[in-house]
Amino acid sequence: SSSETFDADGTDDTGTGNNRLVQFVADNKVLLNALLRSNQNLLEKGLKSMVKMPKCRPFLDFDVKRQWFKTQVRRLRQQANRRHGSLRLNLRRKYVFEDSFHAFNHRSAEELRGRLQITFVDEEGVDAGGLSREFFAILAKEMFNPNYALFMSTEDGCTFQPNPNSSINIDHLRYFRFVGRIVGKAVVDGFLLDAHFTRSLYKHMLGIKPTHNDMQAIDPDYYKNLQMILQHNLEDIGLELTFSTEDHSFGRSRTIDLIPNGRNIIVTEQRKEEYVNLVCQHRMTTAIEKQIKAYLEGFHDMVDSDLISIFNAKELELLISGMPDIDIDDLKRNTNYNGYRPADREIEWFWSIMFSLSRSEKAAFLQFVTGSAKVPLAGFSELQGMRGVQQFSINKVNGPQGALMSAHTCFNALDLPVYKSEEEMKEKLLYAISEGAGGFLFA
């Protein structure tokens, strides 16, 4: 055992103990994570430095971090509840975004930490969690509504980042602060948001500086051009650049210097990396600095930066939105069969079809059998049903051959009749997920 004494943050005065600790954690990663799963309190006691020391955090598994985070925010919420009681919002269903904006704006961060109680005007219903879930689902959609001009989607249309021209909406900064508070509130209350942001925005939320590689998701073509600049001699590709960039917002063009008097300073081979970094910093940070600042102000009203910084950017996305990718291998590993065996040809056909589906078809299938397109954070082993964890199951149906398949969303179960070919099964499955997803779901 070491006689060294570590400060509360896991460091010692010499720094050598610091490095030895990081090395120890790295060498014993699997064992330490297993220990922490069985006894979460260790992160508050003997293994505190695994959270406190940034260099130790990468060795903690996501589920362990998430559990620690949940424990911390639960404590803060209980304190707020005792002080301020519940956060009761009575909203007009047609104007949820506007009404919530005003309700949130008039409350302190501390008041907003209380337990959320949502009711809709002129509707009966007690909020046992369902109405709150609906509230967050509506807001997650509305924050990206082009009419508010707050966010713009990236090339693939899947992720969003602040719109540099959001000032067209006079109140835009107050809205950004509101959206930050909503995302933070969802995170601390454990509600998933169907809202995916750019990697660079997740990094800003964690206080990490984005790199030029984060440009790839925002604008792939622009990123390709930057890679070309880095990989080839500027003279060979005939590029004459200056330390400036063009802005074409609101129909007029203007030159922006990346360094003082940049428009008159030529980018040389020696300084091209600096140029690429500056131009990316402009696109991902400087051009949207006010928007990011307001959004982070709201987010940190709800979530302490010390607590959230335990995650990396990819983990933060999972924390906010759940698993966006539907991993069919994982689903297959966590499937139970009734009447069929895994080796039956119908089951082989079924998985062959599942692997061939597009991303949106997979999401539609998940909605058809579970009632939601959300994958649990820990994957399909933790799929929730009416009675707690209820893994996906496939039941053999002894009806007429070629009958329609049906689902029981309460039990995450699929009733799969016998078909004469894989083609027929696929046709029936696609029919079921497109028809069955339209409002009525089988009990």
Three-class HEC string of the chain: CCCCCCCCCCCCCCCHHHHHHHHHHHHCHHHHHHHHHHCHHHHCCCCCHHHHCCCCHHHCCHHHHHHHHHHHHHHHHHHHHHHHCCEEEEECHHHHHHHHHHHHHCCCHHHHCCCEEEEECCCCCCCCCHHHHHHHHHHHHHCCCHHHCCEEECCCCCCEEECCCHHHCCCHHHHHHHHHHHHHHHHHHCCCCCCCECHHHHHHHCCCCCCHHHHHHHCHHHHHHHHHHHHCCCCCCCCCCECEEEECHHHCCEEEECCCCHHHCECCHHHHHHHHHHHHHHHHCHHHHHHHHHHHHHHHHHCCHHHHCCCCHHHHHHHHHCECCCCHHHHHHCEEEECCCCCCHHHHHHHHHHHHCCHHHHHHHHHHHHCCCCECCCCHHHCEECCEECCEEEEECCCCCCCCCEEECCCCEEEECCCCCHHHHHHHHHHHHHHCCCCCCCC
Is position 56 annotated as part of the catalytic site? Answer: no
Catalytic residue, chosen from 56, 158, 280, 410, is 410
Catalytically active residues are 410
